[in-house]
């Protein structure tokens, strides 16, 4: 039995003190103290309970009540109500609760620091991404106002360039809105049985011209027994568009992009692989961050908002799944995730 609450502490101390008293009495007066007068036994019993009451009151007042205050504060900061159980406190339990609370607070502080760094980086990235098209538009408009509007050689050209910059800003804002809805769970998924081959073929048709221009072949390999998965069709299509489009953008001429399905019991493993330029190992942990670009110069030359992979990550997390990536520089990349088979 653990000695970890006021009652047990008082019983233990009373027993020890009473035993010490009995040993002292026996040492000085031998057994005749008890044999000659049975009332002496009552005296010992009374002494035991007297010591127990005194130690209990002292322990509870000067020790246990202080633990109660700490315990109340812990639950106050936790935002829970368990004050009705404070009378049953023991030291071991309080120690564990205090350690758990301290660890939770430490994790909370670390998360707050991480969120603050993320917020700072995010604001910096958004301002940087929007600054380029805004300055471009400003330059085109100023040129037109300074007389370029009357020059037939540049007015239409500059208006088209300004419109292209505006479209880039719109794409950034729309992608940010998609991520915001996914993060705040405002975008409800319409889960249904989806014929996954049909979704991939639709994406292939959509990106066929871009793939042909880059001389990249698109392949579909189905090694899974099931033909459907449980998913939101539109969101799943967006995942395939973003991943396949990336594989084309960062692919090599005469390369290939392969979409494969593999059977995994009640699930299907989906892989999108290419033999493109690959990704540095140091960049893989940050690959799904907003606006993160492995090669910033190349990324801006070929377009994109830098939010595609972040959207993919959030969509799959909304499906209670995660996306994984493995890549080797100048060899290629493979993105994979799992979905539940359709009914």
Provide mean pLDDT across the span 84-111: 67
Task: Say what the pLDDT of residue 122 is.
Answer: 65
pLDDT at 62: 65
Residue 281: per-residue pLDDT: 83
Confidence of residue 151 (pLDDT cuts 50, 70, 90): confident
Q: How confident is the model at residue 83 (pLDDT cuts 50, 70, 90)?
A: very low
Closest CA to 276 of 216, 336, 208: 216
Q: What are 51-79's pLDDT values in tens digits?
A: 888 887 777 766 666 666 666 666 655 55
| Residue 136 pLDDT | 85
Q: Is the pLDDT of residue 226 over 80?
A: no
For the chain, how far is it from start to end, CA to CA, in angstroms? 55
DSSP 92-140: HHHHHHHHHHHHHHHHHHHHHHHHHHHHHHHHHHHHHHHHHHHHHHHHH
How far is the C-alpha of 194 from the C-alpha of 227, rounded, in Å? 8
Average pLDDT over residues 246-266: 90
- In the sheet that holds 332-340, the strands lie side by side as 217-223, 256-264, 267-274, 332-340, 324-328
d(CA 158, CA 300): 19
> What pLDDT does 296 receive?
57
The per-residue pLDDT for range 276-331, each reduced to its tens digit, is: 888 888 888 888 877 777 665 555 555 566 778 888 898 898 889 999 999 988 88
Query: Is residue 201 predicted with pLDDT exceeding 90?
Result: yes
Is 0.75 surpassed by the pTM of this model? no
pLDDT band at 111 (very low <50, low <70, confident <90, very high): confident
Q: Quote the CA–CA distance of 32 and 19 in Å, as a whole number.
A: 17
**Least reliable range by pLDDT among 182-186, 195-199, 279-283:** 182-186
């Amino acid at each position: 039995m653990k000695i970890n609450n006021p009652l047990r502490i008082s019983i233990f101390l009373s027993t020890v003190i009473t035993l010490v008293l009995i040993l002292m009495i026996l040492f000085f007066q031998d057994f005749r103290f008890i044999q000659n007068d049975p009332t002496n036994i009552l005296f010992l019993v009374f002494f035991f309970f007297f010591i127990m009451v005194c130690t209990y009151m002292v322990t509870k007042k000067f020790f246990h009540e202080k633990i109660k205050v700490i315990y109340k504060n812990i639950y106050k900061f936790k935002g829970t109500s368990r004050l009705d159980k404070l009378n049953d406190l023991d030291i071991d339990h309080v120690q564990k609760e205090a350690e758990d609370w301290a660890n939770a607070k430490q994790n909370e502080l670390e998360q707050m620091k991480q969120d603050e760094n993320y917020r700072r980086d995010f604001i910096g990235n958004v301002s940087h991404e929007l600054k380029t098209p805004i300055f471009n538009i400003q330059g085109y408009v100023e040129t037109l106002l300074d007389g370029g509007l009357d020059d037939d050689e540049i007015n239409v050209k500059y208006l088209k360039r300004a419109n292209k910059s505006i479209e880039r800003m719109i794409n950034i804002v729309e992608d940010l809105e998609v991520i915001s809805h996914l993060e705040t769970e405002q975008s409800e998924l319409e889960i249904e049985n989806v014929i996954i081959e049909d979704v991939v073929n639709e994406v292939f048709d959509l990106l066929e011209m871009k793939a042909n221009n880059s001389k990249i072949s698109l392949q579909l390999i189905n090694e899974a027994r099931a033909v459907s998965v449980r998913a939101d069709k539109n969101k799943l299509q967006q995942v395939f568009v973003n991943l396949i489009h990336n594989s084309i953008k960062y692919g090599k001429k005469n390369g290939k992009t392969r979409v494969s399905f593999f059977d995994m019991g009640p699930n299907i493993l989906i892989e999108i692989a290419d033999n493109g330029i690959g990704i540095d190992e140091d960049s893989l942990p940050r690959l799904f961050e907003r606006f993160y670009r492995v090669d910033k110069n190349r990324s801006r030359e070929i377009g994109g908002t830098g939010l595609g992979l972040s959207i993919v990550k959030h969509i799959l997390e909304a499906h209670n799944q995660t996306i994984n990536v493995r890549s080797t520089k100048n060899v290629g990349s493979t993105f994979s995730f799992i979905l539940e088979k359709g009914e």
